Amino acid sequence: MIGVEMQKVLVADDDAVNRDVLGELMKPEYTVLLAKNGAQTLERAARHQPDLILLDVLMPDMDGYEVLRRLRADPATEHIAVIFISGLDRPEDEATGLKMGAADYITKPFNQTVVMARVALHLQVVRQRRMLERLANVDGLTELANRRRFDEVYEMEYQRARRSGRPLSLAMLDIDAFKQYNDRYGHPAGDRALRSVARAAAKAMRRPGDLAARYGGEEIVLLLPETDAVDAGEVVAQLRASVAALGIAHEASHVAPVLTVSAGGATLDPGKPESPAALFEAADAALYRAKQAGRNRTSWCATR
Ligand SMILES: [Mg+2]
């Protein structure tokens, strides 16, 4: 899916002719954005998140070096690759640009084929970096976020909830009698079942901030920002129902004739002193209670 989407290139030049020439050159291959000055470049970079910026060095309001410095100083734009396009052709100008962190430095007048080749090269680097980031954050079997990614996002969302005073809910899910499932149907079937449950979990995430992650083994954790216990309980109830509705036969289960999940959850009360670890333990303890009570049910930590 990611590979099909066109990469975005922002062309920033105060000269309308240069801007159009570069824009037209890029159009057949990339989604092109244009900016005519430094301020516009910063604004469009932050808003549209281009993969690459072709940045003119000489612009009246703010030169390209200053634009690059500001891009790097803002967490929203610090990662964006920049190629300088410059009328300054002294080696020291080029050295300055590269030292500041530009990916490349092309002097005017430029050769169109060379510009295209360099742009393609740097965009390939961007694509590869994205893929590596993705691999580092995604669980290979289920394609959910992995535990490393979850830990990172959880810490961030926890602090955000603390600051904003909004609730944050956490739910742990465990496939019931999964060991018996593997024993009865074999590990490849177990992997397929786990993938099906993971897909249901991913589908159950409604908002951009919601995250379903594989926490380990057959455990899935849901992170639901700005969601109180009632709404989170609903998300979990629907997910449990959709897993049961998959109708994955489980003859070795003492709980139900089909594959089911147990869930435990906890909701952060931003007014109470706590810690990310304490909230996590509360959700885990709730899951334990759901299992103790006979599995195929949800238990929510009531004391938050
Ligand atoms: Mg210029």
pLDDT tens for the 304 residues of the chain, in order: 344 679 999 999 999 999 999 999 999 999 999 999 999 999 999 999 999 999 999 999 999 999 999 999 998 999 999 999 998 889 999 999 999 999 999 999 999 999 999 999 999 999 999 899 888 999 999 999 999 999 999 999 999 998 999 999 999 999 999 999 999 999 999 999 999 999 999 999 999 899 999 999 999 999 999 999 999 999 999 999 999 999 999 999 999 999 999 999 999 987 777 899 999 999 999 999 999 999 999 999 865 4
Query: pTM for the whole thing?
Result: 0.69
- 36 CA to middle of ligand 1, Å? 9
From the candidates 218, 234, 251, 281, give the one annotated as an active-site residue. Answer: 218
Q: Which CATH number fits domain 8-137: 3.40.50.720, 3.40.50.970, 3.40.50.2300, 3.40.50.300?
A: 3.40.50.2300
The partner residues of 267 in beta bridges, in order of sequence, read 169
Range list for CATH 3.30.70.270 in the chain:
147-300
Whether the Cβ atoms of residue 77 and residue 42 lie closer than 8 Å to each other: yes
Catalytic residue list contains 218:
yes
Q: How many CB atoms lie within 10 A of CB 287?
A: 25
Name the nearest CA neighbour of 39 among 67, 15, 17, 16: 67
- 45 CA to middle of ligand 1, Å? 18
What number of residues does the chain have?
Answer: 304
Q: Which of helix, strand or coil describes residue 191?
A: helix
Task: Considering only the C-alpha atoms of the chain, give the largest distance between any 2 of them, rounded to a whole number of Å.
Answer: 77
Range list for CATH 3.40.50.2300 in the chain:
8-137
- 68 CA to middle of ligand 1, Å? 15
* CATH class name, domain 147-300: alpha beta
Q: How many CB atoms lie within 10 A of CB 178?
A: 20
